[in-house]
Amino acid sequence: MRFKGKVALVTGGSRGIGRAISLRFASEGANIVLNFFRNRSAAEATMAEIKSRGVEVLEARGNIGNPQGVDKIFAKIKEQFGKLDILVSNAALGSFTPALDIDDQAWDLAMEVNAKAYLHCVQRAKEMMPSGGKIVAITSLGSQRYIKGYGSIAVSKAAIETLTRYLAVELAPQRINVNTVCGGFIDTEALRSLPAFENLKQQVITRTPGERLGRPEDIADVVTFLCSEDSRWITGQTIIVDGGFSLT
């Protein structure tokens, strides 16, 4: 119960990687602020699982790409808990577009929901985060390697990783650690929705020393480590979690 009595906000926390992170924190005693936007049925199912672990869960529906939506979420956190110990910036959105075809709409969507939302959440979190707080952002290998059609999303993920280093230095006086977890190919609904999923899956498995796709729990394990006291001397880092895919 490493996180008993702690309050953790997980953006995009109802499905996939966000769901795994939310449930892992709840299993270790944290009260969860669950952010979601569209899929209420998935959110309700995840909240029920969180409650079954004997902790509190606060519904925080809202579009984090909208600054006013972020303000409302943090106002709810302050009203119910009065503090926020852990922030996991996981929610992401974007369109698959070759870099040369990116238009303003695709660019703005990815930057606002991914990079700008991360900044806004951190700016608000620091106002109610006690000394020893933890912040983790989720990115993907597209931030560092070419993935076909991933251009606009990749740029936003790279911005997050750079921003993490700046935030880590500026929040160090408050003893707040800031890190990024960069996931490889993770077996989620989002990945399975790609038209070429089966072909992609076989290519990734063949190339990965671990010989499988990543699982949401693989990311959750690293996130919870970075939010524990065991990681107190780690800050400003991007941890790649890909089973060795990027080594080959």
Nearest alpha-carbon partner for 46 in 16, 76, 66: 16
User: Is there a domain that residue 35 lies in?
Assistant: yes
| Predicted TM-score (pTM) of this structure | 0.95
Which of 51, 126, 150, 201 is flagged as catalytic?
150
User: Is there a domain that residue 219 lies in?
Assistant: yes
Which of 6, 116, 134, 157 is flagged as catalytic?
157
For residues 50 and 8, the answer to whether their CB atoms sit within 8 Å is: no
157 part of the active site: yes
Total domains in the chain come to 1
User: Is there a domain that residue 207 lies in?
Assistant: yes
User: Is there a domain that residue 163 lies in?
Assistant: yes
> Which CATH number covers residue 48?
3.40.50.720
Domain that holds residue 43: 7-247
What is the distance between the alpha carbons of residues 121 and 117, in angstroms, rounded to a whole number?
A: 6
Average confidence score pLDDT of the chain:
94
The least confident of 10-14, 194-198, 214-218 is 194-198
User: Is there a domain that residue 1 lies in?
Assistant: no
pLDDT score recorded for residue 241 = 97
pLDDT score recorded for residue 242 = 95
User: Is there a domain that residue 2 lies in?
Assistant: no
User: Which pLDDT tens digit goes with each residue over 29-70?
Assistant: 999 999 999 889 999 999 999 999 999 999 999 999 999 999
What is the distance between the alpha carbons of residues 85 and 34, in angstroms, rounded to a whole number?
A: 14
Is the Cα dihedral 195, 199, 200, 202 positive or negative? positive
150 part of the active site: yes
Exposed/middle/buried for 215, CB within 10 Å: 0-12, 13-18, 19+? middle
